[in-house]
Structure 1
Amino acid sequence: MTDMTLLGDRYFLAIKALKNRLHACAAWFKPAPKTLHVGRINDHLARDIGLSQAEIARHRLTLPSQTHHHPRG
């Protein structure tokens, strides 16, 4: 019974190692972000790194429901 448990653990660890390796490869191929992601920092930190209020507002994500501009007219 002990051999079956060890064999099961080996298969589990082999599959886990394969998944970790595939995840690392996928993360390596993922392109770097092309724009500044300001949405995750607050206004105080953005001012500390030298961004103006206009730059902060330009880089923030605005959803269509948060604006009055309609893209089709």
Structure 2
Amino acid sequence: MTACDKEGITELIEKLKQEKLVMEWTKQQQRIADVKVTIEKELDNILPDKYDRQLFAQTCNEVFDHVYQSY
């Protein structure tokens, strides 16, 4: 992962904090799904094409897990 990728992910997390991560968002299935979809869409734009499906899915899961546990 490059510094540019990390910067993009940091910006994504800031966007999520401002727009999607409302109080007790983890208790609402629709909000959880919305956050997952947003992460996937944004990472699709951020990450280079060299990421294959498996690595892309792994990265999406890692970002979601971090967001879920931290916010």
Fold shared by both chains (TM-score > 0.5): no
Which structure has greater helix proportion?
Answer: 2
Task: Please state which band the TM-score falls in when normalised by the shorter chain.
Answer: under 0.3
Structure with more relative contact order (C-alpha pairs < 8 Å, separation 6 or more): 2
Of the two, which has the highest radius of gyration? 1
TM-score calculated relative to the size of structure 1: 0.27
